[in-house]
Amino acid sequence: MSCEKDDPTVIDPVLNLPTISNTLISPSLIFSDSVKSVAVATVQSVDPIGTVTVTVTDPNGLVRVFVLKDDGNLPDTVANDGKYSGYINFIMDCRLVGDYKSDFLAKTQPGLSSNIITQNFSVKNLDGLHPVISNLFVSPHDALRGQLTPFIFRVNVTDPDGQCDILHVTYKGYYPLGQPLQNNYDLLDDGSCCLIPPFNSVSGDSVANDGTFTRLLAGAPDSLGYYKYFFYALDRSGDTSNILIDSIFVHN
C-alpha cells in the first residue's frame, strides 16, 4: 500500500480524438460547369464536435472548403445522428476536367482533429468536344544548313469547353528522310516573349492567355531538304484537335 498523496497537477494523457468512419459524395461524376454534390461524413466523438469540413482541391490546385452540419436542415436529414452533411457547390468560369480531391476532417470543440478520409469526384465532358487549332504561322520557311537560325511556330487554339480544357499544344517534327526529331517542344500561351534569351528557354509568346500559342526555337539544321511539322492540341479528356502541317526547307 502506498501512502503517497494524489498529485492534483497531473494531467490525464488520454486524448479523445474524433473519428470519421464513412464518407459519401453524390453525384461523384459531373458533366457540367456547375458542381452541386451532397457530401456526407459519419463522425464518432466522445467530446462535442466543433466543425466538420470537406476541402476540395481542383486539378489546378485551387482549394475550396465546405462546412458539413448535423442539424437536420437539408441536405442533412436527421439532426444529431452523427452524420454531417453539406453541399459541395460552385460554378466554374471554364469547365476544368479532371479529378477533384476531397479531404474530410472533423474537429472537436477543444480543437482535436480526426483522421482524414479522401474521396474524389470527377468532372468530365459529356459530348467529347475537340479543341480546334487554326492560323498556323511558321517563320522562316527556309534556312541554311549548319547555320544557327531562330524559328517561330505559332497557332491559335480554341476549345468548346473553355480555354482551361486545353492541356497541350505541340507538334511532331520529322527530318527530310522521315526520321522523327528527337526534341519536340510544347507551344505555350504564357506571355514570355520579353524574357531574356537563351533561345529555347522561353516560348516567345506575346500575350498570356489570349489563345495564341507560340514557341521560339533556335537550331542549326544539318540535313538538306524539307523538315515537316505536324501541329495539334490535346484537351484534358484526351481528345485531339485537327492537325495543321507546314515545312521548313534547308539548303546550302
Domain match, 97 and 184 both: no
Q: Kindly state whether residue 137 falls inside one of the protein's structural domains.
A: yes
Domain match, 114 and 156 both: no
Q: Kindly state whether residue 234 falls inside one of the protein's structural domains.
A: yes
Rounded to whole angstroms, the Cα distance separating 225 from 138 reads: 16
Domain match, 247 and 185 both: yes
Domain match, 223 and 137 both: yes
123, 148, 168: which is the final residue of a domain? 123
Per-residue tens of pLDDT for the chain, all 252 residues: 455 555 555 555 667 899 999 999 999 999 888 999 999 999 999 999 999 999 999 998 999 999 999 999 999 999 999 999 999 999 998 888 899 999 999 999 989 999 999 999 999 887 668 899 999 999 999 999 999 999 999 999 999 888 888 999 999 999 999 999 988 889 999 888 765 555 555 788 888 889 999 999 888 999 999 999 999 999 988 889 999 999 999 999
Domain match, 214 and 155 both: yes
| Domain, as residue range, for 145 | 132-251
90, 123, 156: which is the final residue of a domain? 123
Contacts of 114 (CB under 8 A, 6+ apart): 17, 18, 19, 20, 43, 45, 105, 106, 107
Closest by CA to 134, choosing from 59, 225, 233, is 233
Q: Kindly state whether residue 173 falls inside one of the protein's structural domains.
A: yes
Cβ atoms < 10 Å from Cβ of 122: 14
Domain match, 28 and 111 both: yes
Angle among Cα 89, 64, 236 to the nearest 5 degrees reads 85
We report the CATH number of the domain holding residue 229 as: 2.60.40.1930
123, 152, 183: which is the final residue of a domain? 123
Number of domains forming the structure of the chain: 2
Question: H or E element: which one contains 24?
Answer: strand 19-26
Domain match, 213 and 158 both: yes
Domain match, 151 and 194 both: yes
* CA distances, 108 to each of 81, 100, 176 (Å): 16, 26, 69
Q: Kindly state whether residue 2 falls inside one of the protein's structural domains.
A: no
Q: Kindly state whether residue 12 falls inside one of the protein's structural domains.
A: no
Name the region of 61 (left: φ>0; alpha: ψ -120 to 50; beta: rest): left
Domain match, 90 and 136 both: no
